[in-house]
Amino acid sequence: MNGWAVYALAVVTSLVAFSYLIRRLGPLSWRLLVILVLGFVLLTPAAVPETSNLAPAWLVALFEAVFGSQQLAINALLPLSVGLVAFFAALVVLLFIRRRPR
């Protein structure tokens, strides 16, 4: 089995368990938002420096920040930050369209 498949299965299983734990906290929309953002952060890939492999962006950034260069850590977080900005921009647009009076 592919390493990414095992990792994705572990993330999805962890998110299901986490959603079960927070099922009584706040409205469903907020819980769903937290689960989606957490899943996005955990599953966004980034290139591992000096190889042709991909790894989770948060893991590459953490490893490079601790053991490598700060610039490589920032480069690893770039796909994650761009994706989160796009996700929240789409969410704002959807909320604007949904609440617009007819």
Average pLDDT over the chain, rounded to an integer: 86
> pTM to 2 decimals?
0.77
Stretch (H or E) spanning 56: strand 54-56
Number of folded domains in the chain?
Answer: 1
Contacts of 11-18 spanning 24+ positions with Cβ under 8 A: 11/39, 11/42, 11/43, 12/39, 15/39, 15/42
pLDDT exceeds 70 at position 101 = no
Q: How confident is the model at residue 102 (pLDDT cuts 50, 70, 90)?
A: low
Residue 5 contacts by C-beta under 8 Å, 6 or more apart in sequence?
none
Q: State what percent of residues in the chain have pLDDT above 90.
A: 13
Residue type, 27: P
Stretch (H or E) spanning 45: strand 45-47
Residue 33's alpha-carbon distances to 27, 42, 64, 78, in angstroms, are: 10, 14, 29, 21
- CA-wise closest residue to 73 among 43, 48, 102: 48
Domain with 50, as residue range(s), is 3-99
pLDDT exceeds 70 at position 57 = yes
